[in-house]
């Protein structure tokens, strides 16, 4: 097309546009606020050429704030600008936390594959069903009472005094609990703060806590509890009766959330730094103790009370009962390792927390080194590198690093994982030798190494992170190191290690007592263990009605016939 024809077409198009829209009418200043040009939806001449400075050309847009103050830059104060920035930071933190929660929820698939693969085919559907139903039943309990008990008095969380939590000040609605040593104000009125917090009391069925930050916190903490709830399904697999399992799933939120309140909810263990001068009080970043050791100890007591599987011990000696599908065990392990990158980094509760990079790398290193040391330990004992034990090694390293992952250097993460890989092997043989039948090694992976993770923080925490954690700010540490971060034995704070010992000991005693009482009580309601006939036949047929063998057909009436 010649140049003259191009100009003619442009003139025609310009005439059509002008005729359709008419000349632009100026807007009087007293008629509407003078918003920046990038808020206009039309092709305003004042609007900058693409790319739009707000990034709209890349698929994003700027939206007017909803506080009624308007968005005229010339009329905004410094405080207004800060509010806009803080709002955006909170939004980033929300998204990060929710996505991390999705990853943790996906870990349930990994648990199902690992547990089902490690057991016999005749029970695989039953084990899968337990891993499935523990989610809705546990969530129901967490919504009804668990969240209120654990986080009803969480308020500002572990952040330094005077700071907002990463999800914003809306969490201040979680302000009701009970404990010992009630504090009062100048007028003698109770403040809701206790010297030794014992339990939260706000948020039953999420009533009275209608804040967006609370909803995000509820979701994230619920999927963490689901991990605890499912650990005993591996330790008690192939003989746990379905009805008993179901009522357990409605109970497990009680011990979990009580201990979580003491460590994560600002309770008496978290207050150990303020009350007793022991470091920053009990610290457990992502739950080696609160999540994993709690599940492992409950599983230990359950496995002892339910007894070993038929044929597991002959004349007191353990017999091998091979896994039916090693491939899905390995696949499940990789799914769990993937989900752990939501589990640990997500526990920053902030996508804006740059410490996430350390958490990610430390998590990876602990897992891979643990798998290697588990292999070397087996070979040092004259055994072959069983892939199921190697998987348990990797999982043990991930469990152990979960508490200290934000507070340690990468070399320390490798050491923590390396020790975990050795511990898990010796722990499996230890419990086998004492007649405790754990088909999946759940007690050793989560219980033994969950406790190791809690203690390892008290040894290797380097003081670079966690300033003001649990309200502790010690001037002598600020003068000596520049800030008062969480420190362990190797970095000048033996008090932190003592506090971690107290926390681990409390967990073991409390979880053991609660589990023993519960399993004894629930066994009086409905049997803890299936009958001998069902165990031999397989729970898939005996309890679930699942078609497990090709020679059988499932009758609609519930019976089986050839």
Element containing residue 480 per DSSP (H, E): helix 475-481
Tokens of 392: 């348990």
Greatest CA separation for the chain: 103
18 pLDDT more than 50 = no
Every domain of the chain and the residues it spans: 86-177+194-529, 530-562
How much is the pLDDT for 97?
93
Mean pLDDT, residues 533-538 taken together:
96
β partners of residue 178: 199
Superfamily of domain 86-177+194-529: Ammonium transporter AmtB like domains (1.10.3430.10)
Element containing residue 80 per DSSP (H, E): helix 78-118
287 pLDDT more than 90 = yes
User: Do β-strands 553-554 and 317-318 pair in parallel, antiparallel, or remain unpaired?
Assistant: unpaired
503 pLDDT more than 60 = yes
pLDDT in tens, 200-224: 999 999 999 988 999 999 999 999 9
Contact 207, 231 (CB under 8 A): no
CA distances from 161 to 155, 165, 230, 237, 250 (A): 12, 10, 36, 46, 36
Closest CA to 296 of 431, 519, 111, 446: 446
How much is the pLDDT for 46?
54
Mean pLDDT, residues 534-562 taken together:
66
**Three-class secondary structure of residue 180 per DSSP:** strand
Contact 449, 422 (CB under 8 A): no
Question: Higher-confidence residue: 42 or 522?
Answer: 522
**Three-class secondary structure of residue 529 per DSSP:** strand
How much is the pLDDT for 13?
46
How much is the pLDDT for 415?
98
pLDDT in tens, 390-427: 999 999 999 999 999 999 999 999 999 999 999 999 99
22 pLDDT more than 80 = no
**Chain Cα centroid distance, residue 479:** 35
pTM, entire model = 0.87
Least confident interval from 11-20, 38-47, 300-309:
11-20
**Chain Cα centroid distance, residue 4:** 68
Banded pLDDT at 68 (limits 50, 70, 90):
low
Burial level of 80, CB count in 10 A (0-12/13-18/19+)?
middle
pLDDT in tens, 356-395: 999 999 999 999 999 999 999 999 999 999 999 999 999 9
How much is the pLDDT for 560?
41
Closest CA to 93 of 268, 272, 237, 217: 217
pLDDT in tens, 224-233: 999 999 999 9
460 pLDDT more than 90 = yes
Closest CA to 125 of 545, 402, 540: 540
pLDDT in tens, 72-102: 667 778 887 777 777 778 889 999 999 999 9
β partners of residue 26: none
Banded pLDDT at 17 (limits 50, 70, 90):
very low
Question: Higher-confidence residue: 319 or 53?
Answer: 319
pLDDT in tens, 144-186: 999 999 999 987 777 777 777 888 888 889 999 999 998 876 7
Distance CA 138, CA 160 (A): 32
Distance CA 370, CA 427 (A): 14
With pLDDT > 90 as the criterion, what percentage of the chain qualifies?
73
Question: Higher-confidence residue: 465 or 84?
Answer: 465
486 pLDDT more than 50 = yes
Which of 8-17, 177-186, 435-444, 551-560 tops mean pLDDT?
Answer: 435-444
548 pLDDT more than 70 = no
Banded pLDDT at 549 (limits 50, 70, 90):
very low
**Chain Cα centroid distance, residue 546:** 32
pLDDT mean across residues, the chain:
88
553 pLDDT more than 60 = no
Tokens of 311: 């044929």
Handedness of CA 220, 452, 153, 517 (dihedral sign): positive
307 pLDDT more than 50 = yes
Distance CA 363, CA 361 (A): 5
Closest CA to 109 of 230, 221, 222: 230
Distance CA 38, CA 52 (A): 7
Least confident interval from 10-19, 247-256, 311-320, 484-493:
10-19
Burial level of 411, CB count in 10 A (0-12/13-18/19+)?
exposed
**Three-class secondary structure of residue 462 per DSSP:** strand
Helix axes of 124-141 and 242-251: crossing angle, nearest 10 degrees: 30
491 pLDDT more than 80 = yes
How much is the pLDDT for 188?
72
Contact 400, 448 (CB under 8 A): no
446 pLDDT more than 70 = yes
Contact 208, 192 (CB under 8 A): no
Handedness of CA 224, 228, 229, 231 (dihedral sign): positive
Least confident interval from 50-54, 189-193, 231-235:
50-54
**Three-state secondary structure readout of 85-149:** HHHHHHHHHHHHHHHHHHHHHHHHHHHHHHHHHHCCHHHHHHHHHHHHHHHHHHHHHHHHHHHHH
Residues 6+ apart with CB under 8 A from 8: none
């Amino acid at each position: 097309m010649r140049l003259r024809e191009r100009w003619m077409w442009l003139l025609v198009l310009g005439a059509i546009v002008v005729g359709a829209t008419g000349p632009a009418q100026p807007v009087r200043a007293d008629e509407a606020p003078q918003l920046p040009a990038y808020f206009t939806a039309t092709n305003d001449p004042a609007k900058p050429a693409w790319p739009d400075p707000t990034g709209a050309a890349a698929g994003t847009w700027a939206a007017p704030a909803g506080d009624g103050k308007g968005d005229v830059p010339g009329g905004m104060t410094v405080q207004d600008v800060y509010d806009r920035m803080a709002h955006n930071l909170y939004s980033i933190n929300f998204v990060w936390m929710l996505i991390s929660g999705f990853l943790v929820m996906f870990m349930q698939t990994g648990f199902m594959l690992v547990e089902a693969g490690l057991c016999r085919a005749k029970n695989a559907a039953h084990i899968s069903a337990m891993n499935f139903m523990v989610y809705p039943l546990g969530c129901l309990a967490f919504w009804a009472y668990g969240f209120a008990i654990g986080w009803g008095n969480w308020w500002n969380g572990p952040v330094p005094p005077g700071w907002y939590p990463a999800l914003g000040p809306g969490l201040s609605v979680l302000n009701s609990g009970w404990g010992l040593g009630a504090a009062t104000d100048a007028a003698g009125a109770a403040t809701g703060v206790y010297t030794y917090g014992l339990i939260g009391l706000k948020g039953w069925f999420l009533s009275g806590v209608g804040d967006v930050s609370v909803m995000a916190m509820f979701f994230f903490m619920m999927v963490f509890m689901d991990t605890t709830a499912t650990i005993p399904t591996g330790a008690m697999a192939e003989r746990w009766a379905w009805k008993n399992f179901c009522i357990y799933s409605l109970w497990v939120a009680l011990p979990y959330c009580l201990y979580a309140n003491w460590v994560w909810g600002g309770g008496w263990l978290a207050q150990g730094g303020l009350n007793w001068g022991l470091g920053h009080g009990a610290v457990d970043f992502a739950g080696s103790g609160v999540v994993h050791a709690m599940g492992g100890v409950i599983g230990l007591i359950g496995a002892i009370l339910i007894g070993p599987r038929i044929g597991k011990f002959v004349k007191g000696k353990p017999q091998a009962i091979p896994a039916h599908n090693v491939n899905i065990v390995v696949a499940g392990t990789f799914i769990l390792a993937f989900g752990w990158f939501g589990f640990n980094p997500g526990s920053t509760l902030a996508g804006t927390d740059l410490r996430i990079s350390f958490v990610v790398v430390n998590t990876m290193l602990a897992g891979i080194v643990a798998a290697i040391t588990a292999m070397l330990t087996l070979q040092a004992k004259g055994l072959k590198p069983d892939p199921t034990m190697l998987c348990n090694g990797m999982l043990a390293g991930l469990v152990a690093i979960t508490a200290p992952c934000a507070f340690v250097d990468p070399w320390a993460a490798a050491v923590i994982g390396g020790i975990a890989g050795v511990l898990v092997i010796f722990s499996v043989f230890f419990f086998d030798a004492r007649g405790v039948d754990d088909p999946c090694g759940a007690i050793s992976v989560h219980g033994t190494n969950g406790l190791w993770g809690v203690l390892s923080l008290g040894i290797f925490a380097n003081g670079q992170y966690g300033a003001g954690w649990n309200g502790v700010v010690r001037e002598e540490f600020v003068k000596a190191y520049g800030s008062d971060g969480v420190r362990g034995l190797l970095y000048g704070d033996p008090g932190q290690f003592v506090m971690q010992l107290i926390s681990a000991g409390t967990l073991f005693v409390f979880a053991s007592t609660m589990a023993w009482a519960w399993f004894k009580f629930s066994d009086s309601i409905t049997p803890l263990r299936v009958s001998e006939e069902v165990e031999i036949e397989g729970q898939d047929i005996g309890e679930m009605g699942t078609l497990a063998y090709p020679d059988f057909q499932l009758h609609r009436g519930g019976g089986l016939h050839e």
